[in-house]
Amino acid sequence: MSKKVAMIGAGYVGLVTGACFASQGHRVICVDVVPEKVEQINAGITPIFEPGLEDLLTHTRSEGLLNATLDAVSAIKEAELVFIAVPTPSKEDGSIDLSFVEEASHTIGRTLKEAEHWKTIVVKSTVVPGTTENIVGKIIEEESGKKRGADFGLAMNPEFLKEGKAVEDFLNPDRVVIGAIDPKSFDEVKALYEWTEAPVLKTTPTTAELIKYAANSFLAMKISFINEIANYCELLGVDVSEVAQGIGLDERISPKFLRAGAGFGGSCFPKDVAALYSHSKHLGREMRLLKATLEVNKRQPLRTVELLREEIGALTEKSIAVLGLAFKPDTDDMREAASIPIIRKLIEEGAMVKATDPIAIPNAQKILSHSNLEYYETISDTLKNTDALILVTEWEMFKQLTPLEIKSLMRGNIVIDGRRVWKPELFQKHGLIYRGIGLGRRDNKSI
């Protein structure tokens, strides 16, 4: 059955969720505070880069199922389900900043005061365990004078979308988690997911909140684990890719999220692991594995610079190409990207940096600017006259580069593979010095 949904926050999660619900026949109004974003959505243009999203916007808008507005109150009044999909950034100390969630809860509460019909309020933002019941539910009750369970529903429904694959992930979920305070709230949210055959988990809101954090923390921990193994492999003359393959074939481990490299970035893993760690510490049960996961990840991007230094010596006045700026391929997102500490370190050590990325340059320019840093649109302009290159983001176009092309463009012959995408033997055969994360030099055993 078609439902009326208000999506508070038309950011990455809100817009993808809203457009995907609309694609399944639900009527969705996205609410945002940025007028340009609202205008863009209403013109069928996506404000973010996400494959498949623009088609979905055009299609659902033409059917009258998706709209955007600045007017939260009217949108909430109209809706049967109100989703909170606002940002939950990190504070300086790593703990979560819930001010946008609180603000949305106040607006919802005030609007609910006048509401005649039942509405279910659903938290989609990633929030620390306890937030939906203790903060969102409490604020709404205080503002509206109404009671959860009796006058309105309350649920938490985490998202498990990967950037660049968000639409695909949403429409083909591994599972749907619905943490609801009562059966009615659960049924209301479940009705939105009638189209999927994925298992639906019925939990409390607090359990749902923790499932989201635990999932991201586990994946992040897997990456830091393989990066630790990678750094150790370098001392043994062992290739971490072979180790990852060897352990990944064990079904209990699986080969996914076992790619060693320059570390994890993005808007989720670093922030969510830090928030969960900070919350556990606050409650007096510090999760030490999470602390270690973050520490390993902080150090990891700089391994690329260390490998470079081992080959080139001092970096003063050396010209270094950086291939890839975004935190991962197929996105222009620069949040917590490994390229940031790498480029800063190169500049700090006196190098001249030439950087490129297929789409993230405009975002990178907002974060990284220095007289010793230049951005180039093409690979050939980037590599020209450089002494070495560091591959930071494994875009397909970089993976396709051959040793011959690289050799013909560069002045020097040092290649640092920060994502282990190239075949070392091919590079060595063409007279290039290849160093990769987690690949020991067989002549350089310290054992």
Give the active site residues. 268
Using left for φ > 0, alpha for ψ between -120 and 50, and beta otherwise, residue 25 falls in left
The C-alpha atoms of residue 180 and residue 182 are separated, in whole angstroms, by: 6
Pair 141, 109: CB distance under 8 Å: yes
47 versus 261: smaller Cβ distance to ligand UGA = 261
State yes or no: residue 223 binds ligand UGA (CB under 6 A): yes
61 versus 419: smaller Cβ distance to ligand UGA = 419
State yes or no: residue 216 binds ligand UGA (CB under 6 A): yes
Q: What is the DSSP string of 21-85?
A: HHHTT-EEEEE-S-HHHHHHHHTT--SS--TTHHHHHHHHHHTT-EEEES-HHHHHHH-SEEEE-
**Residue selected from 268, 373, 390, 437 as contacting ligand UGA according to rule CB under 6 A:** 268
Q: Segment near ligand UGA (CB under 6 A), from 16-24, 105-113, 127-135, 157-165?
A: 157-165
State yes or no: residue 213 binds ligand UGA (CB under 6 A): no
Which residues are CB-neighbours of 286 under 8 A, at least 6 positions away? Answer: 277, 280
- Mark residues 328-357: x for contact with ligand UGA by CB under 6 A, - for none: x-----------------------------
Pair 421, 396: CB distance under 8 Å: no
For residue 355, list its beta bridge partners.
322, 375
State yes or no: residue 160 binds ligand UGA (CB under 6 A): yes
Buried b (16+ CB within 10 A) or exposed e, 401-430: bebeebbebbebbbbbbbbbbbebeebeee
The C-alpha atoms of residue 5 and residue 26 are separated, in whole angstroms, by: 7
The C-alpha atoms of residue 182 and residue 194 are separated, in whole angstroms, by: 19
75 versus 230: smaller Cβ distance to ligand UGA = 230
**Residue selected from 14, 18, 265, 301 as contacting ligand UGA according to rule CB under 6 A:** 265
State yes or no: residue 124 binds ligand UGA (CB under 6 A): no
CB of 113 to ligand UGA, least distance (A): 33
Q: Token pair 């760690």 is at which residue? A: 277
The C-alpha atoms of residue 54 and residue 36 are separated, in whole angstroms, by: 16
State yes or no: residue 192 binds ligand UGA (CB under 6 A): no
State yes or no: residue 327 binds ligand UGA (CB under 6 A): yes
State yes or no: residue 214 binds ligand UGA (CB under 6 A): no
18 versus 412: smaller Cβ distance to ligand UGA = 18
Pair 255, 248: CB distance under 8 Å: yes
101 versus 223: smaller Cβ distance to ligand UGA = 223
Helix (H) or strand (E) holding 1: none
- Supply 225's token pair: 């684990």
- Mark residues 381-420: x for contact with ligand UGA by CB under 6 A, - for none: ----------------------------------------
State yes or no: residue 83 binds ligand UGA (CB under 6 A): no
Going by C-alpha positions, the residue among 171, 183, 181, 167 that lies closest to residue 209 is 181
CB of 118 to ligand UGA, least distance (A): 30
- Mark residues 10-49: x for contact with ligand UGA by CB under 6 A, - for none: ----------------------------------------
**Residue selected from 11, 129, 153, 261 as contacting ligand UGA according to rule CB under 6 A:** 261
Q: How far is CA 330 from CA 75, 108, 253, 398, in A?
A: 33, 35, 26, 12
267 versus 382: smaller Cβ distance to ligand UGA = 267
State yes or no: residue 297 binds ligand UGA (CB under 6 A): no
Report the sign of the C-alpha dihedral through residues 15, 18, 24, 27, in that order.
Answer: negative
269 versus 427: smaller Cβ distance to ligand UGA = 269
CB of 164 to ligand UGA, least distance (A): 7
Q: Which residues are near ligand UGA by CB under 6 A? A: 126, 159-163, 216, 219, 223, 257-259, 261, 264-266, 268-269, 327-328
